Amino acid sequence: MSVVVLLRFKRPIDREGIKGVLEVKVYKVPEEQVPHGFKYSLQFARWTGSGWDSNFLRYDNFCGHTDHKHIKGQRFPYKFTDVDALIRDFNADARELLGFELIPWESD
């Protein structure tokens, strides 16, 4: 099986006084690479006025790391179940931190 791109986009965010960049990458990969078959990176890098905070909100398992998330620079374990839950969880953290969701998403 080859790698299949499921989601991949990057967009600026400028809303309610909050500026940053949202970058989303989700790939279906062979299970030899990752047991659950998905590689992902969902990141909101926030502009602080003096630089970028790239670990403000990020969920990923890239570069050989296990599933985890970063919130305001701290790393926490994350239990990946499926892509819908991944995006719902990311949006829930975005709502808590920013007051709004970052990824428009309707699950099945």
% of the chain surpassing 70 pLDDT: 97
Q: Which amino acid is at 21?
A: V
In sequence order, what E strands does 1-108 have? 4-15, 18-28, 38-47, 52-60, 68-71, 74-77
pLDDT over threshold 70, residue 108: no
Q: 53-95, pLDDT tens digit by residue?
A: 988 999 999 877 799 999 999 999 999 999 999 999 999 999 9
